[in-house]
Chains A and B, each alone.
Chain A
Amino acid sequence: MSDTEERRGGLVGYVLLLPAGAWLTLFFVVPLVTLVSTSFYDPAGSLELGYRVTGQVTNYASVLSDYSEQFLRSLGYAATATLVCVLLGYPLAYAIAFKAGRWRNLMLVAVIAPFFTSFLIRTLSWQLILADQGWVVDTLQFLHLLGEDGRLLATPVAVVTGITYNFLPFMVLPLYASLEKIDPRLIEAGSDLYASPFTTFRTVTLPLSLPGLVAGTLLTFIPAAGDYINAQLLGNTRTQMIGNVIQKLFDGGSYPEAAALSVTLMAVIVVLVLAYVRRAGTEDLV
């Protein structure tokens, strides 16, 4: 800590913090509390008639029995997509950090660049790529990896592909950030001590990049679990995710049920994330 920092009092800190802190409290924390209380409303009410607070958990029981399938599917799709993101994102982040040389910044720009075309437009683009008469399906059919009447669009594969694609930068950037901090001499030391490249990777590079890996998985998995755009545009009615259901319930004005589902999703994610972070041993991540 430098002495300049020590001299600065806490009061100025609070003043600087106040506007953003107030905004986040008012429009992030208070809404979450409202969401929880809404989830206990009597579903028989409506916006016009008003709601009765029942204080019962009936909403939770009914949405969980009705939509557990979509729930599990969301978690499954998100987990699969996150795994594929690791498999694709790690080599890319590694290449940028260690092999790109003076092309490093350009490659980093290239990772974020696709972001700048709207999320929805990119997803629609995948609709085109995976379409029944598209070249991907043709190639796969030619290679007999896909049956004559097999298709990709409107299947779980398409949904997971879309999710993977859309959230890949969230994996690559944190991974790159932690790989970039690794001193290349540590890796050289590994090979000087006659460790095979694989052993060096397993015992030196991978553990040192763990914070990035954990951050990347979280930043990919969490938005992926709540996403419904990919399921809607690339899937069919049998690939609906929990986001589709929540959105539909809100559109239909069933606020209490929708709120109960949202709260459940948030709770499940918090539990999963805590378990995962504890397991990965990076509790001081945030």
Chain B
Amino acid sequence: MSRAGTAPDRRSDRPVRQGGGLGGGLGIQRWGHWLANHLVLGIGLLVLLYMFVPILIVVAMSFNQPASRNSYSFNEFTLRNWANPCEPLGMCDSVLLSVQIGLLATLVATALGTLMAFALVRHRFRGRSVANVFTFLPMASPEIVMGSSLLALFVAGGFAGALGFVTILIAHIMFCLSFVVVTVKARLAGLDPRLEQAAMDLYANEWQTFWRVTFPLVFPGILAAALLSFSLSFDDFIITNLNAGQEVTFPMYVWGAAQRGIPPQINVIGTVMFLTALLLVLLGELNTRRRERA
């Protein structure tokens, strides 16, 4: 979003009748308007602050040297956790597993979901509206139901003993798909069809039009969908826990640790994840700003 575009917006936020504030009554009115205008923003910022409090605590606790295994209060500043992030047994293995599953699930879900989004937005066929509702359903189902039905399927199919990497991956691709479809669909639907028509008018064939016009325009949506998929996959606990067999993903490790006493290194991982994702989002934002300016 460019600065020039938003500056008038901000001005128009202010009350229109601002000019006539001479009498005391109007002064109060003006003050009331100011309050009404900024009250919402104030509350909004407070809510944002509320959303960040737990994150700040995670960051702070990553520098904590806990007094004992079950003590949760901030005891002493240390860099030890950051120097030895893999000290707790099995933690880094679980992070590695979660990253592997996250990458694979993202790759497959983004590819399949993008194709489906194209089908739903760009093609008219019988059963299209059914397919639309169908993609929405997994998002509208509680995780425990999806997880338990997958488990029921695996058990009924005789795979109860084979639960593990593959079953986790199947589940993750399944629940990421809907989110990919919805994200890419939104981007596609917002695309100006005249851009593609212009390319065709300039004698580009369908293939060239797709790769030189459509795809680059949809790409930010695909990227956003991939980022969303990865974070959904990396973060999932309920569905994974039911279908993981002996494998331990990072959320499952945290869950186990919550019963035994939490190693401070968990907060290091949490902080790193947070910063990485933030960095990616900000880089993306910078990129779009630069492009819009160019």
B1 touches A16 (CB 8 A): no
A213: Cβ under 8 A from any B Cβ: no
CA distance A16 to B112 in the complex (A): 8
B255: Cβ under 8 A from any A Cβ: yes
Select one of B3, B9, B47, B234 contacting A118, CB under 8 A: B234
Neighbouring B residues of A233 by C-beta, 8 Å: 258
CA distance A171 to B204 in the complex (A): 43
Question: Distance in Å from the Cβ of A139 to the closest Cβ of chain B?
Answer: 13
Question: Which residue of chain A has its CB nearest to the CB of B56?
Answer: A125
Binds B, one of A61-69, A140-148, A218-226: A218-226
B219: Cβ under 8 A from any A Cβ: no
Neighbouring B residues of A128 by C-beta, 8 Å: 57, 61, 72-73
A99 touches B41 (CB 8 A): yes
In this complex, how many residues of chain B approach chain A with their Cβ under 8 Å: the count is 106
Neighbouring B residues of A47 by C-beta, 8 Å: 155, 160
Question: Which residue of chain A has its CB nearest to the CB of B148?
Answer: A262
B36: Cβ under 8 A from any A Cβ: yes
A236: Cβ under 8 A from any B Cβ: no
Task: Give the dominant DSSP class at A's interface.
Answer: helix
Given contacts A98-B13, A101-B9, are A2 and B52 in contact (CB under 8 A)? no
Q: Binary interface profile of B, 155-181, with partner A (CB < 8 Å = 1, else 0)?
A: 110001000000000110110011001
Neighbouring B residues of A105 by C-beta, 8 Å: 1, 285
CA distance A15 to B70 in the complex (A): 55
Neighbouring B residues of A24 by C-beta, 8 Å: 134-135, 138, 174, 177-178
Question: Distance in Å from the Cβ of B166 to the closest Cβ of chain A?
Answer: 12
CA distance A28 to B6 in the complex (A): 44
A116 touches B72 (CB 8 A): no
Neighbouring A residues of B47 by C-beta, 8 Å: 88-89, 91-92, 168
Q: Binary interface profile of B, 256-280, with partner A (CB < 8 Å = 1, else 0)?
A: 0010001000110111011011100
Complex interface residues of chain A between 240 and 257 (CB less than 8 A to chain B): 242-243, 246-247, 250, 255
Neighbouring B residues of A6 by C-beta, 8 Å: 124
CA distance A30 to B149 in the complex (A): 9
In this complex, how many residues of chain A approach chain B with their Cβ under 8 Å: the count is 99
Neighbouring A residues of B73 by C-beta, 8 Å: 128, 131, 133
Neighbouring A residues of B250 by C-beta, 8 Å: 118
B79: Cβ under 8 A from any A Cβ: no
Q: Binary interface profile of A, 251-285, with partner B (CB < 8 Å = 1, else 0)?
A: 00001001100100110010001000000000000
A237: Cβ under 8 A from any B Cβ: no
Neighbouring B residues of A49 by C-beta, 8 Å: none
A113: Cβ under 8 A from any B Cβ: yes
Q: Can you pick out 25 interface pairs between chain A and chain B where the beta carbons lie within 8 Å of each other?
A: A4-B197, A5-B123, A24-B177, A37-B156, A89-B47, A91-B43, A99-B44, A102-B10, A109-B281, A111-B51, A117-B54, A118-B251, A118-B254, A119-B235, A121-B270, A122-B54, A129-B53, A129-B54, A129-B57, A131-B72, A222-B140, A222-B142, A227-B144, A250-B151, A286-B132
Q: Which B positions have Cβ atoms within 8 angstroms of A?
A: 1, 3, 6-7, 9-10, 12-13, 15-16, 36-38, 40-41, 43-45, 47-48, 50-55, 57-58, 61, 72-73, 112-113, 115-116, 118-120, 122-126, 128, 131-146, 148-153, 155-156, 160, 170-171, 173-174, 177-178, 181, 193, 196-197, 200, 231, 234-235, 237-238, 241-242, 250-251, 254-255, 258, 262, 266-267, 269-271, 273-274, 276-278, 281-282, 285
Q: Which A positions have Cβ atoms within 8 angstroms of B?
A: 1-2, 4-6, 8-17, 19-21, 23-24, 27-28, 30-32, 34-35, 37-38, 47, 88-89, 91-92, 94-96, 98-102, 104-105, 107, 109-122, 124-129, 131, 133, 165, 168-169, 184, 188, 191-192, 197, 218-219, 222-223, 225-229, 233, 242-243, 246-247, 250, 255, 258-259, 262, 265-266, 269, 273, 286
User: Which 9 residue pairs of A and B lie closest in terms of their CB atoms, listed nearest first?
Assistant: A226-B142, A95-B44, A13-B123, A10-B125, A116-B277, A125-B54, A31-B149, A16-B119, A35-B149
